[in-house]
Amino acid sequence: MDKIRVGVLGATGLVGQVFTYILSEHPWFELSFLAASKASAGRRYGDVVKTYRPVPLPASVAEEIVVEGKPDDIPKDVEILFSALPSKIAGEMEVQLARKGFIVVSNASPLRLEDDVPLVNPEINLDHLQLLELQKRKRGWKGFIVKNPNCTTAILTLTLKPLLQEFGIRKVVMTSMQGLSGAGFPGVPALQIVDNIIPYIEGEEYKVEHETLKILGELDGDRVKEADIKVTATCTRVPVLDGHTEAVFVEFKRKACIEEVIQAFEEFRSKPQEMKLPSAPQRPIVVRHEKDRPQPRLDRWEGKGMSVVVGRIREDNTLNPGVKYLVTGHNLVRGAAGIAVLIAEAMVKLGYV
């Protein structure tokens, strides 16, 4: 088939760079539009991103000229816009673009919890894309907006899904130890984090506690009925470059032994795997059996950054019946650019594009 033309908004930030890295050699998509702020417009992409690179710079993309990305400047033949825009400007800008007819797949937080906006972790809730019909109708847009979850939530929910399916979930208690790249660039000053951790990330816990319920919820007519689960989170920053690690405690509805839990994780496959989407990892959840894994430096690139790695699965005596475990995932891939591309691939396959 002919490649579908796509663009990246906010192309010069960390998430933007991972988008261009993934899209530069994508079998279905042709990256034909790189937009960023006025300060970068008119300059060679390779020059603008040279301060800090979370992934290698593809030679083919380095020579592209960055544009400012006002809605009117975007070529009509671009179909999908991946948004890595900062929250402050994403809200309004993405709406304008959807109104004009673009398909916006967005990593930005605004609108994630709106009733008619699908918030999608593709192995969990591709059926929520059905909200798009409603969204178009209700808002009178020619295009539409799909959201991927907050990075920490994307990693967490991927592990919760098989547990919910197999054992039912009552409660989730999670403490995260998040990598530096989650704060963007320049992000956290070295003076604050060397020999230290920072036990606070603005807005993060609210996102985890609310987005999780929507992603794991069921489509119920015109809206998603939130999952009947209690989720509480404490989010911290640690001196790790990339990769978020989460200590998770889950209370089940039904009793389960550890072997069943391991099996549920290891055998978990879903639509992206069935549809053989290009960005779908073969194993969404990789279980490590060493006593001291997962570790972010060793495990963040598992499945090209699209798998999450689970370890230390133990019975829990307090949330009971239940388990506790740790999970690590790549915040910029499964938690941001990679998941958005996977959503877009599913949308193509399912006929939304």
Active site residues: 151, 244
Q: Is 42 in the site for a copy of itself (CB under 8 A)?
A: no
Is 188 a residue that touches a copy of itself (CB under 8 A)?
A: yes
Question: Does the footprint of a copy of itself cover residue 318 (CB under 8 A)?
Answer: yes
Rounded distance between C-alpha atoms, residue 121 and residue 111, angstroms: 16
Nearer to a copy of itself, 85 or 188 (CB): 188
Q: Which of 127, 209, 226, 260 binds a copy of itself (CB under 8 A)?
A: 209
Nearer to a copy of itself, 101 or 200 (CB): 200
59 binds a copy of itself (CB under 8 A): no
> Distance (Å, rounded) from C-alpha 172 to C-alpha 248?
7
Q: Identify the residue among 36, 172, 227, 261 touching a copy of itself (CB under 8 A).
A: 172
SS (H, E, C) 65-134: ECECCCHHHCCCCCCEEEECCCHHHHHHHHHHHHHCCCEEEECCCCCCCCCCCCECCHHHHHHHHHHHHH
Cis omega before residue 110 (within 30°)?
Answer: no
Residue span binding a copy of itself (CB under 8 A) among the ranges 4-12, 92-100, 131-139, 178-186: 178-186
Between vectors from CA 312 to CA 307 and to CA 318, what angle results, nearest 5°?
120
Report the C-alpha gap between 194 and 324 in whole angstroms: 29
Cis peptide before 294 (omega within 30 of 0): yes
Q: List Cβ neighbours of 70 (8 Å cut-off, separation of 6 or more).
A: none
Q: Least distance to a copy of itself from the beta carbon of 17, Å? A: 12
296 contributes a contact to a copy of itself by CB under 8 A: yes
Beta bridge partners of residue 232, listed in sequence order: 173
Query: Residue 320, interface with a copy of itself (CB under 8 A)?
Result: yes
Which residue number, 130 or 234, has a Cβ lying nearer to a copy of itself?
A: 234
**Beta carbon of residue 219, minimum distance to a copy of itself (angstroms, whole number):** 24
Question: Which residues, other chains included, contact 59 with Cβ-Cβ below 8 Å and sequence gap of 6+?
Answer: none
**Residue numbers 266-295 binding a copy of itself by CB under 8 A:** 290-295
| Site membership for a copy of itself, residue 326 (CB under 8 A) | yes
| Binding residue (CB under 8 A) for a copy of itself from 2, 221, 274, 317 | 317
Based on CB atoms, which residue is closest to a copy of itself, 81 or 188?
188
CB of 184 to a copy of itself, least distance (A): 9
Q: How far apart are CA 323 and CA 164, in angstroms?
A: 12
Q: Are 237 and 180 in contact (CB under 8 A)?
A: yes
Residue 277 Cα to chain centre, angstroms: 16
Closest separation between CB of residue 174 and a copy of itself, Å?
9
> How many CB atoms sit inside 10 A of residue 2's CB?
6
Cβ at position 315, least distance to a copy of itself in Å? 10
Lateral strand order in the sheet of 80-83: 29-35, 4-9, 80-83, 103-106, 144-147
Q: For residue 177, state whether it binds a copy of itself (rule: CB under 8 A).
A: yes
- Interface residue with a copy of itself among 200, 203, 218, 222 (CB under 8 A) is 200
Q: Which of 38, 194, 220, 221 binds a copy of itself (CB under 8 A)?
A: 194
Query: What does each C-alpha distance from 215 to 125, 128, 221, 339 come to in angstroms?
Result: 6, 9, 15, 14
- Residues of this chain that interact with a copy of itself (CB under 8 A) are 50, 52-53, 171-173, 175, 177, 180-181, 185-200, 209, 230-232, 234, 236, 238-241, 245, 247, 249, 290-298, 311-312, 316-320, 324, 326
